[in-house]
Copies of this chain bind each other. A is one copy, B any other.
Amino acid sequence: MPKQSKKELIIQEAAAIFKHKGYSATSMRELAEKVGMEAASLYNHIRSKDEILEEICFKVANQYVSHISMIEDTDETNVQKLRDLIQLHVRMIIAEPDEVSVANNDWKNLSDTKKELYKTIRKGYEKRIANLIKAGIAAGEFKDLNVSVALFTLLSSLRWIELWYKPGRDISPEQLENDLMTLLINGFQK
């Protein structure tokens, strides 16, 4: 069994509650109850409610950034890079659905300075995917679409998974990845 600090446990439970009710609607007393201690005791492990949200958001953001770096460093075709990106998104969402969901939905509640940092990181990530799309268009691999439309359609079409996918679903991660790739790369039409 993996060793997990109390702080990690608190953050994990917090992510689950935040996902379900949202950060602002979740009280520290509720979190404490889930973790099995009094609200005041939480503060022996974490500095503030804010800090929990920060840890979740930046952990997720950093994982996404390291993924795109990996993909950029290959010398595959742009279509294959797009496939890799879709696969990495799917796998990250399946591995940590709560954290990914909270980062995507509750980053607005970060403190002003952290929120600006988060937005900067996210914009950098989007820029790198936009470059991938541009390269694909320039190479004649992708259709000549508006880059922003392609970028955000891609990113948001991967976001329902965090809300929908549960281990009990009658679809394997592999089939999910395959259908998603087919849909995004070749579209609905037969």
Contacts and interface: CB of A to CB of B under 8 A. Distances in A.
* This chain's copy number in the assembly: 2
A179 interface: yes
A105 interface: yes
Nearest to A156: B160
B150 A171 contact: no
A186 B183 contact: no
Interface stretch (A4-12, A34-42, A44-52, A137-145): A137-145
A143 B188 contact: yes
A22 B109 contact: yes
A145 B178 CA distance: 9
A178 to B, nearest CB: 9
B180 A184 contact: no
A168 interface: no
Given A22-B108, A136-B188, A185-B187, A175 B146 contact: yes
Contacts of A136: 188
Contact of A164 (B142, B152, B154, B175): B152
Among A20, A23, A182, residue most surrounded by chain B Cβ atoms (within 10 Å): A182
B153 A160 contact: yes
B79 A179 contact: no
A190 interface: yes
B22 A82 contact: no
Contacts of A3: none
A159 interface: yes
Contacts of A74: none
Contacts of A95: none
Contacts of A140: 190
